Amino acid sequence: MFEFPKYSIASIKNDVLSGLTVALALVPEAIAFAFVAGVEPLVGLYAAFMVGLITAVFGGRPGMISGATGAMAVVMVSLVADNGVQYLFAAVVLAGLLQVLAGIFKLGKFIRIVPHPVMMGFVNGLAIVIFLAQLGQFKFIDSNGNLAWLQDTQLFIMLGLVALTMAIIHFLPKLTKSVPSSLVAIVTVTLIVYYMGLDTRTVVDFVRSMTGDDNATISGSLPTFSIPSVPFNLETLYIILPYSLILAAVGLIESLLTLTVIDEMTGTRGKGNRECVAQGASNIVSGFFGAMGGCAMIGQSMININSGGRGRLSGITAAISLLMFILFFSSLIEVIPLAALVGVMFMVVIGTFEWATFRVIRKIPKADTFVIFLVTIVTVFTDLAVAVIIGVIVSALRFAWEHAAHINAEKSIEESGNKVYKVNGPLFFGSVSHFLELFDTAADPKDVIIDFANSRVCDHSAIEAIDTLAERYVAAGKVLHLRHLSLECKKLMKRAGDMIEVNLIEDPEYHIASDKLGG
């Protein structure tokens, strides 16, 4: 399950520094998502630590960062509000079990059916979501308790620090790549704010605004093992199962899509099924240690990859560093300006968004362009799981529609007087109507042959269509024969048994038996 890779000094340095950078960016994200879910900040921070560590060690994609995510947090809100946090922990444990089962039964391979336009829409949508989430840092709670945009000096300081952070991240790699530019940017901006006494919001300000507690802090102790305090009965299962199913699906979809994106960036290939098991195990542990669970995080993964983190050590460093922040270094982390972290995330947005979309939209089919924008919009306004599912369905329906219209038949008469219909194109649920329109039952001779050399019988709808056609010829006193069925089609027809009443003509080239199905 776990291999011990060989590390060079350079890769160790890159992974450790990159992991530290990711850990700094994880703090406000985990706290924000905990707030979205309606739980305490430490519940989100513990999740980022446990999910991040377990998936980094045992997951199928070295370099990918996991933790508490907004996609899963929005699912948890109503469960926590209606039933309490203990039911959330139980739901996370069950979701983890479902994810482990998905990996064991190798369901991770189904990520391959996600078309490229859906992938482009997915990353574009997430980039926009990350960007919009950062805009909240430009707001504050006014004296009336309402959110308002920063004004005057505070706004200019915030914008200036964000711009400085982005400039350092962009230009430093042109001078040296010995240290992650994101880490240098965070440290530099923090020192400037601290020693110049600039009036700008910091991590501790963010924590206190989230909790409404002027004494709130990210400091905490080690998480402790505890079985969720819920009744172990069918009523509890009835409550948590719907949430667990959604959490498991959302977590796996986001994780596997993020894995695919990183594969493309690094030119390597992760192991989807192994990632499913690791994600599931991390959520099981989270539920038993009072954490909200999570999945892969594309934003933090981009920070890690762009900072040079490629190995498991980067994720391990990020998780352990986060725990160290909670236990020992909370006072140092709390003084980090939010502007520095916002600048890092803005650079993630720029790196994540598929700018090639605007270049290719005139060169690709309009249907693909529609899918890209559809998935992007749905991701922004709902969640990525819904967006990906809709994108796959729309792409599949579009494919079916186009191929349904492609079926046709070449007609000829043999010396024996038999009429041959040579079918071109697959016969499936979408093409059966066009298929039935190809035949002239009344005018055809006594024996009619359908040649499937250039076609395939794909599903039950196709078998029903053939049976319907056979009944029409039987009613007209004629006989229908099938020729050149592939081995797979022949097996499908055999399984149909007496549902069909046609003859299968022997064809040595396709190894088709001459047995007769039905009458």
List, for residues 46-94, the tens digit of each pLDDT value.
999 999 999 999 999 999 999 998 878 878 988 998 899 999 999 999 9
Question: Over pLDDT 70: what percentage of the chain?
Answer: 92
Q: Phi and psi at residue 410, in whole multiples of 5°?
A: -95, 125
The residue ranges of DSSP E strands in 359-491, in sequence order, are 408-413, 419-424, 447-454, 479-483
CB of 383 closer than 8 Å to CB of 250: yes
- In sequence order, the β-bridge partners of residue 512 are 507
Q: Residue 246 belongs to what H/E stretch? A: helix 234-266
Residue pair 150/339 in contact (Cβ under 8 Å)? The answer is no
Give CA–CA dist 280/100, Å, rounded: 5
d(CA 172, CA 192): 17
SS3 sequence of 215-239:
CCCCCCCCCCCCCCCCCCCHHHHHH
- Ranking 280-289, 310-319, 352-361, 493-502 by mean pLDDT, the lowest is 493-502
Cα gap 494→297, rounded to integer Å? 48
Q: pTM of this prediction?
A: 0.76
* Side chain identity, residue 34: A
CA nearest 113: which of 458, 395, 461?
395
In the chain, domain spans: 9-359, 407-517
Percent of the chain with pLDDT over 90: 38
pLDDT at 339 over 70: yes
**Can you tell me the distance from the alpha carbon of 469 to that of 390, in angstroms, rounded to the nearest whole number?**
35
Q: Retrieve residue 226's tokens.
A: 């505890």
C-alpha 379/C-alpha 254 separation (Å) is 11
Whether 463 has a pLDDT exceeding 80, the answer reads: yes
In the predicted model, is pLDDT for residue 10 greater than 90? no
Task: With H, G, I as helix, E, B as strand and everything else as coil, classify residue 457.
Answer: strand
> Quick check: 409 and 421 in contact, CB under 8 A?
yes
Q: What is the CATH number of domain 407-517?
A: 3.30.750.24
Of residues 263 and 212, which shows the higher confidence score? 263
